[in-house]
Chains A and B, each alone.
Chain A
Amino acid sequence: MVEANLQQQINAQLFDKLGLAYICVDSSMAVVDVSDNLSRYGYDNIFIGAQIEDGIDFMFGLDAQTQIDLPMIESPSGVIVSVSLLPSENSLTVLILDATTQAKQRQLLQQKANENELLVERQDKLLDQLEFASQQLEHKNEQLEEASRLQTSFLSGVSHEFRTPLTSIIGYTNIIEQSLQSSTDSLAQFTESSANHLRAVQRSSRHLLSLVENLLDHGKLDSNAIILRPKANDLAELFEDVKLLLKPLSNAKHIELDYKLDITDSTIVVIDDSRLRQCLINLLGNAIKFTDYGSVCLSAELQDDFLLVKIDDTGPGISPEDLEKIRLPFWQAADTGKAGTGLGLTITDRIIELMGGSLEVLSVLGLGTQIYFQIPAPKLLEQVNSDVSKPKALFSDMAVLLAEDDHDIADLMVMMMAERGVHVTHVENGALALEALESNAFDFVLMDIHMPVMTGYEALAALQKANNMTPVAIMSASAVDADRAKAENFGCYDYLVKPVDIDDIIEIINQVAIDATAKG
C-alpha cells in the first residue's frame, strides 16, 4: 500500500516535471481518471463522472474511437499544449503535453517566414502596378502624340484652305486698288465707297491670315514643332521695319509710337529675325490696340549679347487678377471689346522662352502696362556687306517656269512678275513641269506642292534623280517645319509659304542670278 502510494507520488512528480497531464474517459466519454496537474492548463472543471466535452472545448465533436494528434492548442491558462487522443477497447486516454518551448520557436520562425512572404507579395504587386502605370503612360503618350499629329495635320489643312483663296483675294484687291489710284477713268467708274469696300476686304483678309498664322504657331508650339532659324541680321533695320509696319495703326488711332533705340546702326546680331519680328508685332500691336490715348514707346538696347526690349503704353492697364491669366491660350479680357484670338501674347511668351529668353509684364490699372523681354542676341564679329543683301535686278533675261494648279494664283503671279519684267512660263502640274524642263532651258522654277497628276515633291525627286540642277523654289500653303524639311531634303533652292510676297520671289530670282554669275 505504502509502496503503491509512493509510486503514485513519484509518477505525479515525474508527470508534472515533464508537463504531461492525462484524462481517461470511458466509451460514453465520461471521465474515469485524471492526473493531478490538469489545473496547470486551466482545465478546472474536470472531475470523475463528468462528460469531458463539458470541461474541455477541444473535445467537443470528437469520439472515443478516433486516434488523433492535435498539436499546439492554446489552453485556457494560456499555455500551449499538444494533445494526443489514444483510444483503447472501452476507453480513451487524452494526453496533454506542455509545448510552450516548441511553440515559441515555431512562432519566431513562422512569423519571420510569413512577414517575408508578405513583403515579397507586396513587392511583386508594386512591380505589377509600376509596369501597369508604365504601360498606361506609354499608351497616354501615344495618344498625345496622335492628338498632336492630328492637331498639326488639322491646322495644316485649315491653313491650306485659308491661304489659297486669301492669296488670290489679297493679290487682286491690291491690283485693283493700284489701278484705281493710277487711272482717272477707273476712278470715274468706281466711287470712293467702292474703294473703301475693297480696303475692308483687304483688312479682313489680312486679319484672317493673321488668325491662321496664330493658330498654326500655337499648334506648332504645343507639339514643339517650331524650329528657330537664327541668322545674321541688322537689328536697327529690323526695328525700323516693324515701326514702318505699325505706324499706320498708331496714326489711325492718333497715338504716338516712339522708339528709344540704344543700338548703333549696322549692328549685326545672330537671331531668328522672323520670330523676333513676330514678337515685336504682337506686343506693339497689342499695345496700340489697347491704348486709346497717349503713346506706345519701345526701348531697346544690347547688353552682353542680350537684347533687352521694353514696351510702355498709356493704355487702360491690366488688373492683378487678369495679369495671372494673360498668358493662357485663347484668353481675352472680357470688357475691352477688342477683336483678337487671345493667342498673341501666349505665342510671344513661348517663342521668347524658346529663344532662351524671358518675358515680364507689369501693369497698373488706369496707368498703363510695361512689358520687358530679353533674349540672347550674340553680335556677329564680322560685319556683313550691306550691298550684298540688296542686289541689283539681274533677272531681266531669266527664264522662269511656274508650276501651279490654281489658275487664279498662277495668273496673278504671271501678271505681277511680268510687271517686274520677268518672263514666266506656266504649267499646271509637276509632270508638265518636267516635260517643260526637258524641252526648254529654264533658269529658275517656282513649284507648288499640292498639284494633280504629279506633286511638287514627286517632281523634285524626279529632277534630283535626273541630276537636273535647275534651282527650284517651293511654294507651299503649309508652314509646318516637317514639310519644309521634306522639300529641303529633295534639294529645293528655297521654301516660300503662301501667300507669297512678290518681292520675296524677285529677291530669290536675284539670288539665283548672282549664284549663276558667281559660278561663271
Chain B
Amino acid sequence: MQKKKICMVGDFSVGKTSLTQKFVNNVFSEKYLTTIGVKIDTALVDDTKLIVWDVAGRDSLSPINVSYLVGASGVVLVADVSRSGTVSGLIEIWQTVKQRIGEVPVVVALNKADLKGWKIDSQSRVFFDQQGWDVFETSAKDGNNVDTVFKKLVEIINCDLRATK
C-alpha cells in the first residue's frame, strides 16, 4: 500500500483540525481549541494510506513552521469563508509553502460554508483560478465536501505521480 503525506495549512481557527477530525474520525466539536505544533493522523483513501499533518495555524505573531511540510506530497489550503482575511491570506501562505517544498498539488477548502452572508473577494477567486486549483466550499460542521477535498487531493497526487512516471 502506498503512503502519502499531506499537510493542512491556513490561518488559525479556520477549521483545519475540524476538517481533519471529521474526515478521519467523523467527529465535530463547536469548541475552539488551538493546535500547538502538529497533530498527525492517518486515513485510508482507496489504496492509499494518507498521513495527514494538521499543522498549527498562522497567526499575527507566528508564521507556519515549514519544517512540518518537508516530504509532503500535497497540501490542503484551508480558509474560513466568514473571515475574508483568511481567504486572501492563502495567497501569501502558498508562497511560503512553495518556497519550502515546491509546487505540490493543492486543493482549497473554503470552510464554514454553512454560515450565512459570506462572499469571496474577486482577487482571491482570480488567483485560485489562475493556479488551476480545485476549490471546495466545505463545512466540517455538516460534513459537506469534507471527504471530497481529501479524495480530490489524493487523486491529483496520484495523477501527478503517473504523469511524472
**Interface, chain A (partner B; CB < 8 A):** 53, 57-58, 60-62, 66, 68-74, 80, 103, 106-107, 110-111, 113-115, 117-118, 121
Give CA–CA (A107, B65) in the complex, Å: 16
**Complex CA–CA separation, A66 to B13 (angstroms):** 31
Give the residues in chain A near B3, CB-CB below 8 Å: 53, 60
A386: min CB distance to chain B, Å = 70
* B34 contacts A57, C-beta separation under 8 Å: no
Interface residue tally for chain B (C-beta within 8 Å): 27
Given A60-B5, A114-B34, check contact A71 B59 (CB 8 Å): no
Closest to A105 in B: B36
Q: Is the CB of B70 within 8 A of A61?
A: yes
Which residues from B are CB-within-8-Å of A62?
A: 70-71
Contacting pair B83 A61 (CB below 8 A): no
Q: Which residues on B sit within 8 Å (CB–CB) of A60? A: 3, 5, 51, 71
- Closest approach, in angstroms, between the C-beta of B5 and any C-beta of chain A? 5
When distances are taken between beta carbons in the complex, the residues of chain A under 8 Å from B36 are 72, 80, 103, 106-107, 110
Residues in B neighbouring A69, C-beta threshold 8 A? 67
B67/A70 in contact, CB under 8 A: yes
11 pairs, A vs B, C-beta closer than 8 Å: A60-B71, A61-B51, A62-B71, A68-B70, A72-B36, A103-B37, A106-B36, A107-B34, A111-B33, A114-B12, A117-B12
Q: Is B120 an interface residue (CB 8 A)?
A: no
One of B21-29, B38-46, B123-131 contacting the partner? B38-46
Q: How far is the CA of A425 from the CA of B32 in the complex (A)?
A: 90
Q: Is the CB of A68 within 8 A of B67?
A: yes
Q: Does B60 contact A (CB under 8 A)?
A: yes
A118: chain B residues at CB < 8 Å are 13, 32
Task: With both chains docked as a complex, state the minimum distance between the C-beta of A87 and any C-beta of chain B, in angstroms.
Answer: 13
The smallest C-beta distance from A68 to any residue of chain B, in angstroms, reads 5
Residues of A within 8 A of B70 (CB): 61-62, 66, 68
CB distance from B152 to the nearest CB of A (A): 20
Collect the chain A residues with CB atoms within 8 Å of residue B61's CB: 113
Extra contacts besides A71-B65, A73-B39, A114-B32 (10): CB < 8 Å: A61-B51, A71-B67, A72-B38, A73-B37, A73-B40, A106-B36, A111-B33, A111-B34, A114-B12, A117-B12
Q: Are B71 and A114 in contact (CB under 8 A)?
A: no
Closest to A112 in B: B34
Digitize B53-73: 1 where CB-to-A-CB distance is under 8 Å, 0 elsewhere.
Answer: 000100111000101101111
Return A235 CB to nearest CB of chain B, in Å: 60
Within 8 A of A (CB), among B55-106: 56, 59-61, 65, 67-68, 70-73, 83, 85
Q: Are A117 and B34 in contact (CB under 8 A)?
A: no
Shortest Cβ distance from residue B11 to the other chain A in the assembled complex, whole angstroms: 10
Taking a contact as CB atoms under 8 Å apart, the answer to whether A73 and B38 are in contact is: yes
Docked Cα-Cα span, A239 to B120, in Å, equals: 69
State the CA gap A62–B71 with chains docked (Å): 6
Taking CB as reference atom, which chain B residue is nearest A115? B32
Contact A61 B72 (CB under 8 A): yes
For B85, what are the chain A residues with a Cβ–Cβ distance below 8 Å? 121
